[in-house]
Structure 1
Amino acid sequence: MLQDLLKAADANDVVEALPYLSGTWGGEGPSVARTGPYLRRTVSRAPTATAAEIDTAVTRATGYARQTADLAPAARADILEAAARNATAHRDRLARILALELGKPLKDSRTEIDRVASTFAVCAAEARRIDGETLPVAGWNTGVGNTAFTYRAPAGVAVAITPFNAPANLLAHKLGASFAAGNTTLVKAPPQAPATSAAVVALLIDSGMPHQAVQLLHGAGDVGAALCAADPVSVVSFTGSAETGAAVARAAGAKRLALELGGNAATVVCEDADVAAAAQVCARTGYSNSGQSCISVQRVYVHRSRYREFLDAFTAAVDALVVGDPLEETTDVGSMVDDRAAERVVAWAREARDLGARVIRGGTRDGATAAPTIVADPPAHASVVVQEVFGALVAVLSYDDFDAVLDQCNTSRYGLQAGLFTHDLTRIVAAWRRLEVGGLIVNGSSNFRLDHVPFGGVKDSGFGREAPRWLIDDYTVVKTLVLRGLSVWGDSRELPKEDS
């Protein structure tokens, strides 16, 4: 199947992204076409899962969970390592599918596939590390004479719902960690990236993943809701908007949830910062993937003494970005996911201007391609400050007091990640303590992530941490074994008296 997907993309044919159900590629539901946002033509097509297919997939998953759990961690790790090698081998062709479906520039698409390979390798390493504990029960009087152990057991049936903005790597995180933990996984692909999702699943199957470990379904939110609500499902991992995350939680009910939701990321540039370097980093990471990342640079607060210097350098760096065809090697900024998303950037820039801000660059679109937009000095209640833009727009604001700017950052309903440019260790520690975020990047923007480091947020940015080691905690349950009357510890409550 993987070769069929890659060949169709190479030939600019419509990529048929089939579901993978009960070990077979194919589905009976009505097909939905995906229009490439830059090419403006159908680039992929996927059958929507029917109610009967959902029911069958869930029913089969119950039996598959037991079979997958029987696969030794070493075997799981070997398969994931093979998948890492295969992702690297097919890097350029997989990147082309991403560029076609999402308008993501080839250079960014290749980076995402590199991260897929890295993520699978990390998942393999974590599969080999799954363990348990010998508990110190004899340290308390009630435990004397007993022994207790724990181990992390597979949760059983997992549901993975992935977003469109990084569909390959986020699927690698969710499915790779779930398999490393010994689960079977029901994957609900994003409608905007069915071929990318099918390619990742096919790559894993070609690498030796047993069919019992994964099933892939296509469709909209109703398919995801049905999977989340299914009784056999033990854990749900979802990445997407806060609003959809709330709907996922309602549908799932009393199940284990890992929710990585929205963001409105702030980056603070202090007066002691290397302003030229900060401007370059913020320009590069504010518009990569057209700003469609939950940690994309959205609000930049610059100390007033360096504000003009930063704004000039930032504007020059944005002007140097190449906007255009995502299939061109030189393109830095391609299209957004669709016209509606690009129009949001235009509308919010217009609103900010009406509220007194200056739109220094952009504020326009060509179809789904939003011009990189810079909004200077928007008021605190403007949408570009309050809401998640999730687009090619960065707001630049000045501040006078460090303590006050930390409070400004915290006014957001989101709390995923923040950036801080300074060499002052006192400020670094203060920001780490006080900022209501899951992660702080020092001398980098908010938009930086290592796939083997815990990633997740607070407030409306969700809960749980999305990196293989921490996801495995969500994907496993602690099981305890107590041996009554059998102790590996000393079990005498007092020593015998010495013979006289």
Structure 2
Amino acid sequence: MDPRTATGRSAMDRIYEAGCLVAGEWLAVGPAADRTGPYLRRTVSRARIAQPADITAALAYSRASAKTVARLAPATRADILERAGAQVHERRDEFAQLLAVELGKPVKDGRSEMLRVADTFAVAAAEARAIGGENLPVAGWARGVGNTAFTHRAPAGPVLAITPFNAPANLLAHKVAASFAAGNTTLVKPPPQAPAVSTELIKLLLEAGLPAEAVQILHGGSETGAALCAAPEIAVVSFTGSAAAGAAVAHAAGPKRVLLELGGNAATIVCEDADVEEAATICARTGFSNSGQSCISVQRVYVQRDRFDEFVDVFTAQVKALAVGDPLDEGTDVGSMVDDDAAERVVRWSAESGGAITIGGSRNGAVCAPTVVAAPSPGATLVQEEVFGACVAVLPYDTFDAVIETCNESRFGLQAGLFTYDVRRILTAWRELEVGGLIVNGSSNFRLDHVPFGGVKDSGIGRESPRWMIEDFTVTKTLLLRGTSIWGDQ
């Protein structure tokens, strides 16, 4: 189905058929997997599953196509990405509806995701135009006198992009756009939960002028991903997903470049000098967007004990005001989670936490009521692991040094939030918190797509955003001219 043939609900009443793109050809016939929309409770998309022969053909094509893509001038790559960004902007409502139907994401959140996709393409285009190299100061050392040396960033080779369900369009855009900006061909293994959105975005790129040699898409489960990771044709693997899946990806990939953007159980600290009402409002909005299904979603809020009760009251009231329900309704703030099991996990972990549930704690199918748990046990699963759902734990702390230490006890370290006006605390937290990023006077759940993003510990390896990804998707090549110097020979 081409969802552009209609608008609104009528466009989503049919089943979207997502084919595999292998060696420039769309494959529609063959084994397929159905995706049940978590809110609509019916089949909304069907993905043609890649077979072993498809994987073999795709890998051979990627190796054969690598030079073709690498020879495109950076300006050519940038022009294509800019056109794609403009098309995404025009079609954002269509994609938002697909996200709502396939994943239960509210349309206003889906629209925001697509505006980020447009920005990501534009940023990647700008970074493509900036790719260059260095004139090395070789004559600064005696053995280098009389010689000249240069470097440039060359495409690394075929990139494998494995994307998650929670932001399937924007995270696909980051990987494919940066890979193409760097001059690589890309194999995409989308999430089984979002085959339609992923396929439509690849089609849009092709319509914008992306060469057929530059991208392929293979639907499937973990076995498809493992086969692609292990393939010697792949130069770089870029994966976003859970820590457990990331470990499996790294094991399957073996000795090749692997970039992992993994999970978290993000903490936000609210100090006694903070504007509690503002902090509670921001945490409510960012803790339950996309039903909390974000690796940097607000999961743990640590509030200075003197302000704890005040924060819990305001926060609970703000969460109560969120509109929960139909993701296709423009007024909905919280739609459904990815499936019933995910919603049940939130309910179970909340009940077992040992804290007071001030709101929520129940579900209707895959729709989980936004849940706040006050003062759970510090050792509760809800505090220690990644909930990845519509639940926020609020815990008191006594001293700033102690809360920094508590936050660092987590095996994750992706991003943190801090509400304070004390610059000394800001600098201390930036220095001492074991995370990849710190958001001041905002929650952990804030990201700019042109700023480096990534974590430490079990939250991953590498940084995302086009500029930093291009560094990982390229290799430094050196040219050394012996007996020829621009520096002088004496």
Q: Is the 8 A contact 1:28 1:49 kept in 2?
A: no
CA–CA distance in 2 between the matches of 1:382 and 1:60?
49
Q: Alignment partner for residue 377 of structure 1, among 367, 375, 378?
A: 375
User: 2:362 maps to which residue?
Assistant: 364
User: 2:269 maps to which residue?
Assistant: 268
CA–CA distance in 2 between the matches of 1:40 and 1:55?
35
Q: How is 1:315-464 mapped onto 2 (pairs within 5 angstroms)?
A: 315-352=316-353, 355=354, 357-464=355-462
- Runs of 4+ residues deviating >4 angstroms: 1-9
> How many angstroms does 1:11 deviate by?
4.5
TM-score, normalising length: structure 1: 0.96
Q: Is the 8 A contact 1:73 1:180 kept in 2?
A: yes
User: 2:290 maps to which residue?
Assistant: 289
> How many angstroms does 1:256 deviate by?
0.6
User: 1:498 maps to which residue?
Assistant: none
| Mapped pair 1:486 → 2:484 | yes
Q: C-alpha deviations, 1:344-387, integer Å up to 9, x for none?
A: 001101111xx3x1111111100001100111101111011100
SS at match of 1:170: helix
User: 1:299 maps to which residue?
Assistant: 300
Amino acid at match of 1:290: S
User: 1:188 maps to which residue?
Assistant: 189
Q: How is 1:139-178 mapped onto 2 (pairs within 5 angstroms)?
A: 139-178=140-179
Q: How is 1:32-43 mapped onto 2 (pairs within 5 angstroms)?
A: 32-43=33-44
CA–CA distance in 1 between the matches of 2:376 and 2:22?
50
| Mapped pair 1:90 → 2:127 | no
Q: C-alpha deviations, 1:285-315, integer Å up to 9, x for none?
A: 0000000000000000001111111111101
Q: Is the 8 A contact 1:291 1:393 kept in 2?
A: yes
Amino acid at match of 1:212: E
Cα gap change, 1:173/1:2 in structure 2, threshold over 3 Å: closer, same or farther? Answer: farther
User: 1:76 maps to which residue?
Assistant: 77
Cα gap change, 1:337/1:314 in structure 2, threshold over 3 Å: closer, same or farther? Answer: same
Q: Is the 8 A contact 1:178 1:472 kept in 2?
A: yes
SS at match of 2:476: strand
Tell me, which stretches of 5 or more residues in structure 1 are unaligned? 493-500
Cα gap change, 1:94/1:9 in structure 2, threshold over 3 Å: closer, same or farther? Answer: farther
User: 1:468 maps to which residue?
Assistant: 466
> How many angstroms does 1:4 deviate by?
6.3
CA RMSD of aligned residues (A): 1.2
Q: Is the 8 A contact 1:6 1:93 kept in 2?
A: no
CA–CA distance in 2 between the matches of 1:5 and 1:25?
20
Q: Is the 8 A contact 1:73 1:128 kept in 2?
A: yes
CA–CA distance in 1 between the matches of 2:52 and 2:2?
26
User: 2:11 maps to which residue?
Assistant: 10
Cα gap change, 1:104/1:369 in structure 2, threshold over 3 Å: closer, same or farther? Answer: same
Q: Is the 8 A contact 2:283 2:315 kept in 1?
A: yes
Cα gap change, 1:167/1:11 in structure 2, threshold over 3 Å: closer, same or farther? Answer: closer
Q: Is the 8 A contact 1:437 1:457 kept in 2?
A: yes
Amino acid at match of 1:442: V
Q: C-alpha deviations, 1:162-199, integer Å up to 9, x for none?
A: 00000000000000000000000000010000000001
Tell me, which stretches of 5 or more residues in structure 2 are unaligned? none
Cα gap change, 1:11/1:335 in structure 2, threshold over 3 Å: closer, same or farther? Answer: closer
> How many angstroms does 1:3 deviate by?
5.8
> How many angstroms does 1:6 deviate by?
7.2
CA–CA distance in 2 between the matches of 1:44 and 1:465?
32
CA–CA distance in 2 between the matches of 1:368 and 1:64?
42
CA–CA distance in 2 between the matches of 1:47 and 1:3?
18
Q: Is the 8 A contact 2:284 2:315 kept in 1?
A: yes
CA–CA distance in 1 between the matches of 2:298 and 2:432?
20
Cα gap change, 1:107/1:247 in structure 2, threshold over 3 Å: closer, same or farther? Answer: same
Q: C-alpha deviations, 1:76-132, integer Å up to 9, x for none?
A: 000000000000010100110011000000010000000000000000000000000
Amino acid at match of 2:437: G
> How many angstroms does 1:5 deviate by?
8.2
Amino acid at match of 1:240: G
Cα gap change, 1:11/1:407 in structure 2, threshold over 3 Å: closer, same or farther? Answer: closer
Aligned pairs, how many?
489
Q: Structure 1 residues 28-37 or 291-300, which shifts more?
A: 28-37
Q: Is the 8 A contact 2:156 2:236 kept in 1?
A: yes
CA–CA distance in 2 between the matches of 1:292 and 1:404?
28
